[in-house]
Amino acid sequence: MSELRELYQQVILDHNKSPRNFRKIEDATADTEGFNPLCGDHIHLYLSMDGDRIDDVAFEGSGCAISKASASLMTSLLKGKTTEEADTLFDQFHGLLTTDVDPDLESLGKLAVFAGVREFPTRVKCATLAWHTLKAALAGQDNPVTTE
Ligand code: ZN
CA distance linking residue 68 with residue 82, whole number of Å: 23
**14 CA → ligand 1 middle, Å:** 16
Per-residue pLDDT tens over the stretch 85-122: 999 999 999 999 988 777 777 778 888 889 888 888 88
Burial of 66 (0-12, 13-18, 19+ CB in 10 A): buried
**71 CA → ligand 1 middle, Å:** 11
**Domains of the chain, start order:** 3-141 (3.90.1010.10)
CA distance linking residue 123 with residue 125, whole number of Å: 5
3-state secondary structure of 126: helix
Burial of 15 (0-12, 13-18, 19+ CB in 10 A): buried
Per-residue pLDDT tens over the stretch 40-63: 999 999 999 999 999 999 999 999
**121 CA → ligand 1 middle, Å:** 11
**129 CA → ligand 1 middle, Å:** 9
**48 CA → ligand 1 middle, Å:** 26
**79 CA → ligand 1 middle, Å:** 24
pLDDT at 88: 93
